[in-house]
Amino acid sequence: QVQLQASGPGVVKPSETLSLTCTVSGISISRKYWSWIRQPPAKGLEWIGNINNGGSANVNPSLKSRVTILMDTSRNQFSLNLRSVTAADTALYYCAASTLSGTLDAFNVWGQATVVTVSS
């Protein structure tokens, strides 16, 4: 059974970098694509980006200039760095993946939410 566990600081200061890590268990990270998704307060879901099984990242154009997504195969983890954060980046952050056959974007596995607040 594939499980995801996200970790990272709950509070980040404005203009600094948000860094989150998602640890994958139950499957080698090299076998699937891995996504970050967020939900600002009282808003809907927003896909941030993903990293594929070859280590290449695909980022939402609205965030592309500020986002880096990396993979660490030795630790079976992938990470998110979001630079120059503002209050608008305050959100629940999820790591997620599709392990279903034939689809890359039906996210059937989710980690628990990491609450991130941007505040000085």
Partner 1 sequence: SYVLTQPPSLSVAPGQAASITCGGDNIGRKSVHWYQHKPGQAPVLVVYDDNARPSGIPERLSGSNSGNTATLTINRVEVGDEADYYCQVWDTTIDKPVFGGGTRLTVL
Assess 111 for contact with partner 1 (CB under 8 A): yes
SS3 (DSSP) at 29: helix
Please answer whether residues 33 and 52 qualify as being in contact, where contact means their C-beta atoms are separated by less than 8 angstroms: yes
Q: Are 42 and 35 in contact (CB under 8 A)?
A: no
Task: Please report whether residue 44 would count as binding partner 1 according to CB under 8 A.
Answer: yes
Of the ranges 19-27, 40-48, 67-75, 76-84, which one interacts with partner 1 (CB under 8 A)?
Answer: 40-48
Residue that the structure tokens 């009282």 belong to: 42
Q: CB 6 → partner 1: shortest distance, Å?
A: 10
Q: Applying CB under 8 A, which part among 23-31, 56-64, 70-78, 79-87 lies near partner 1?
A: 56-64
